[in-house]
Amino acid sequence: MTQAWLVLTGPDGREVSAPSEAQMAAALADVYGGKAGGADGGPGSAVLRFGYDDGLMYELEVSGGGAVRFAEWSDRDCEIALAAPRTMTVAAPADALRLWRLMARRQVAQIRDQPWRDG
């Protein structure tokens, strides 16, 4: 049987398996509040990944300034991209949390239907 998993990598680099909505909101607050800085000195980011032990993985990364990137992979090792990454800008943490809620509920089709830009 295929097991699904959900992992949040916060701006501090720590991973949380099956994060609660409060944990997701706290990570986004750090990103949007500027508390998180990237290793290169740029804006920090947090990534929510959802996938299955034997296959597909999806990731939604939110960076400072509200840059959001959605990617689809053949597996957890990111060997084959299933689609070109999509991007958008989301001004409010609540809007980014709405996207993460969709991911947590495995509603990938609804995420794909968002107003993404290619690239």
| Angstrom distance (rounded) from CA 72 to CA 84 | 8
Domains of the chain, by residue range, sit at 4-118
74-113 pLDDT per residue, tens: 766 666 667 788 999 998 999 999 999 999 999 999 999 9
Contact yes or no for 6/16 (Cβ under 8 A): no
Backbone angles phi, psi at 18, to 5 degrees: 50, 60
pLDDT at position 1 is 44
Tell the burial category of 10 from Cβ atoms under 10 Å away from its Cβ (0-12, 13-18, 19+): buried
Q: Is the model's pTM score more than 0.85?
A: yes
Q: How many CA atoms lie within 13 A of 76 on its CB side?
A: 11
- Residue whose tokens read 């701006």: 11
pLDDT at position 65 is 85
Name the band, by pLDDT with cuts 50, 70 and 90, for residue 12. confident
28-81 pLDDT per residue, tens: 999 998 765 555 555 589 999 999 888 888 999 999 889 999 999 876 666 666
